[in-house]
Amino acid sequence: MGIEKVISVDPSPQNHALLYNSLALNNVNNGAVIHVMNPISDGHYEYNGITKTDDNKIDNSGDSLDFSLSEPYNGTLTTITLKDIFGINPEENTYIIKIDVQGFECKALTEFLKMERKPKSVPYIQMETVELCYKGFDGPCFESYKTEFLPLLESSGYIPHVPLPTTYQDLRDQCYFDVLFVHKDAKPFPYWDDRLSRFSFVQNYHQQK
């Protein structure tokens, strides 16, 4: 079975170097991965590793768009959207999303979730949710996570797993570290297999309310 094309979106050159080295060490053709060195958001903004201001520029105060840079980026990047990512490989109709953007997941996914007719099939969304629901982080999606973002995922047909299937009320009551959202029309994911589910996450702890 061949390896499907992967689009890696990350503003950190260090992270791309780690990915490239990992591919080389595992004898995976680097052509299987498209490297995109941009942050993702809900629009196109100038970015230097800190924040977006009202005039579509980035300054160094307030909430961060992305905390993944191990060192400040020396230059300016432009944020891209999920629609832009879909356009990189337009002939592909199915995408699996693994996203960790430090509490800005609503910025990246809300426009897609609001579409009545989705432009691409996304059967699985693996998402770090702890920074969306834990008060200690209090990021830009915190206020809307339970009242707007989770209802959008539910109305779009996604079933949450932690790793076994759970309810949206459970997500409102507990703050899990990771959640896998499986679309109701997707091929069943083997997290509920007794041989696999115990090992699906190393530790999916939840924070207190």
> Which tens digit of pLDDT belongs to each residue from 14-37?
888 888 888 889 888 767 888 898
Give the count of beta carbons closer than 10 Å to the beta carbon of residue 168.
Answer: 15
Query: Domain map of the chain by residue range?
Result: 1-80, 94-209
CA distance 99 to 91: 22
Name the band, by pLDDT with cuts 50, 70 and 90, for residue 136: confident
Structure tokens at 125: 């969304």
CA distance 112 to 95: 13
The answer to whether residues 122 and 112 touch, using CB atoms and an 8 Å cutoff, is: yes
Average pLDDT of the chain to the nearest whole number: 80
> Which tens digit of pLDDT belongs to each residue from 153-191?
999 999 999 888 899 999 999 998 889 999 999 987 766
The answer to whether residues 89 and 62 touch, using CB atoms and an 8 Å cutoff, is: no
The answer to whether residues 178 and 162 touch, using CB atoms and an 8 Å cutoff, is: yes
SS3 of 196, please?
A: coil
The answer to whether residues 130 and 168 touch, using CB atoms and an 8 Å cutoff, is: no
Structure tokens at 157: 């047909």
Dihedrals φ, ψ of 9, to 5°? -115, 115
Q: Across the strands, what pairs with 179? A: 127
Q: What is the per-residue pLDDT for 191? A: 63
> Which tens digit of pLDDT belongs to each residue from 74-122?
567 889 999 999 999 899 999 999 999 888 999 999 999 999 999 999 9
Average pLDDT over residues 111-140: 91
Name the band, by pLDDT with cuts 50, 70 and 90, for residue 1: very low
> Which tens digit of pLDDT belongs to each residue from 65-82?
333 333 445 567 889 999
Q: What is the per-residue pLDDT for 205? A: 57
Name the band, by pLDDT with cuts 50, 70 and 90, for residue 48: confident
Name the band, by pLDDT with cuts 50, 70 and 90, for residue 9: very high
Q: What is the per-residue pLDDT for 162? A: 85
Q: What is the per-residue pLDDT for 195? A: 58
